[in-house]
Amino acid sequence: MSEERYGESVLVRRHADGHVAELALDRPKAMNAVSTGMARSIGAACAALGADPGVRVVVLTSTHERAFCVGADLKERNSFTDADLRRQRPVTRGAYTGVLELPVPTVAAVHGYALGGGFELALSCDVIVADRTAVVGLPEVSVGVIPGGGGTQLLPRRVGAARAAELVFTARRVEAAEARELGLVDQLVDEGRDREEALALAGRIAANSPVGLRAAKRALRLGQGLDLRAGLEVEDAAWRTVAFSGDRAEGVAAFNEKRKPRWPGE
């Protein structure tokens, strides 16, 4: 396993021959509250991972024992002028869109508090694995703002408009069991096993065609919200990017030869 640091608060670890990348939030003194510097580091790490053809899956984790991420750094913002907040906005937005727009499958491993922007980072992933200590929510209206990392758009796509409205308007925190019941998280695992289970899931995903994974994610994401006819056109365009690829040829050959595929990734 290799490690690379982005600023003081983001650590990237490579697993499984580099095919699984772990993006670890590592600002323990602030329970991973997203400061300007941390947001910039998340964005930079995502840009590097997205451009790496060897990366097949990204797992978003936390090094803090009691929190995934508690959201925006309100202590930092307490000193901001309006001009400071305007200048910060593109930086923080870049962190959330960086995760959301990663071209490979993404898995969030959540334990403890995942609130506000912390939960939005998890919502930006394709799958959320949470342990039984997880507490999630979008409490922004309780401090005079609204979710600004994609929460008002991503949450309804998970749980429906009415449920999302109730959660955003009440600003309430949701504990792990209810979060799983409502679909706020996808898998609920024993305490302390969120990272292990998320990495195991990522390993299973990474065994598949890298060309196929990127195309499947593109079809899933771009097809959301479209009518069926338009969605099928998105799927067809994605299918054409893999149908004549080296991965498709290798997959067919490996199936007929009863062996594991050796993906060329092109």
Catalytic residues: 72, 117, 120, 140
For residue 56, how far is the Cα from the chain centroid? Answer: 14
Residue 81, C-beta contacts closer than 8 angstroms, at least 6 positions apart: none
Find out whether 143 and 120 touch, Cβ atoms under 8 Å: no
**Rounded Cα distance, 120 and 236, in Å:** 30
**Rounded Cα distance, 131 and 189, in Å:** 5
Residue from 92, 134, 100 nearest 114 by CA: 134
Residue 21, SS3? strand
Helices (H), 57-190: 74-77, 82-100, 117-123, 151-159, 161-170, 176-182
Residue 70, C-beta contacts closer than 8 angstroms, at least 6 positions apart: 30, 31, 32, 33, 113, 115, 116, 118
**Rounded Cα distance, 61 and 184, in Å:** 17
**Rounded Cα distance, 140 and 63, in Å:** 24
